Amino acid sequence: MTRYPRVSVVIPTRDRPELLSAAIRAVVTQDYPGSVEVIMVYDQCEPDRPPPAPAAPHRSVRVLGNTRTPGLAGARNTGALAATGELIAFCDDDDEWLPGKLQAQVDALAASGAAFVTCGIRISYQGHTVERVLDRDSITLADLLRDRMTELHPSTFLVRATALRDRIGLVDEEIPGGYAEDYDFLLRAARAAPLVNLPAAYVLVRWHRRSYFAQRWDTIAEALQWLLERHPEFATQPAGQARIAGQIAFARAACGDSRSALRWARRTLRGNPREARAYLALAVAGRMLRPDTVLRTLHRRGRGI
């Protein structure tokens, strides 16, 4: 890797022009002396001209349409395959990189010789801001099986292009609805080698009700079941397996399938009797709690189900 390698930043987008402008501006104004190309990938909408961005040396913006499977995974892959940089980064169109993000991550890759680096996030939800930062500098596959680690958001990913294409592989486009494609990508990356993590919040992540997966509980449950089948290593981490089962139980309860919710809740408690998601699922299935109330409460604390 050269001292200041060229970085390609893939930004999938769909009907968020104002947020997209902020995302691009935050990338091109990074204090990084190397070359940065922004690749905007329009998904399920017509490609548009790039929004205006501040002029900066060694910066460029390209516009593409998603030529692969409709959805976030296909859009990410369209951009990754078109990237010309030695390093590839992802950024969602409603997120913003904070100052110093790119330089710090490039330095971390150069110092460690690793292939993949992440960092912490600053979550913004309905006027509340919470920082989520992991106090560790390395992430293993076992770590990720035990805990999804919400801090490792896709907008924090920076990976060597050769590793993405040759070892990790592209983002999986077969996951039902594209849900949890980022978690699957992390698991495959950590299977190849431990990930480097910077214990600092370098990305602003916005959580809002316009999320594509808001209230799509059937899709979420199917995708999580797919994830368990795709990664048999979960069997080595009972607490992690119970966590996923608890999420499935909650999703099934939220979409009104009480019988399935009870079955998954029982499976959850067999794996880990202290897994709170099972009890939340039972409360939702018994109509003692509303799923949207649970989510709003968790999101204000920077947490998810």
pLDDT tens digits along 249-298: 999 999 999 999 999 999 999 999 999 999 999 999 999 999 989 988 88
Model pLDDT for residues 216-242, shown as the tens digit of each residue: 899 999 999 999 999 999 999 999 999
Q: Mean pLDDT over all residues of the chain?
A: 92
Question: CA 197 to CA 157: how far, in whole Å?
Answer: 10
pLDDT at residue 117 in the model: 98
Extract the tokens encoding 103: 């330089």
In the chain the domains, ranked by start, together with CATH numbers, are 7-206 (3.90.550.10), 217-300 (no CATH)
Q: Give yes or no for residue 214 having a pLDDT over 80.
A: no
Check whether 57 has a pLDDT greater than 80.
Answer: no
Q: Would you say 156 and 118 are in contact if contact means Cβ atoms under 8 Å apart?
A: yes
209 falls in which pLDDT band (50, 70, 90)? low
Beta strands (DSSP E) in the chain are: 7-13, 36-42, 59-65, 87-90, 96-97, 116-125, 128-132, 138-139, 158-160, 195-206
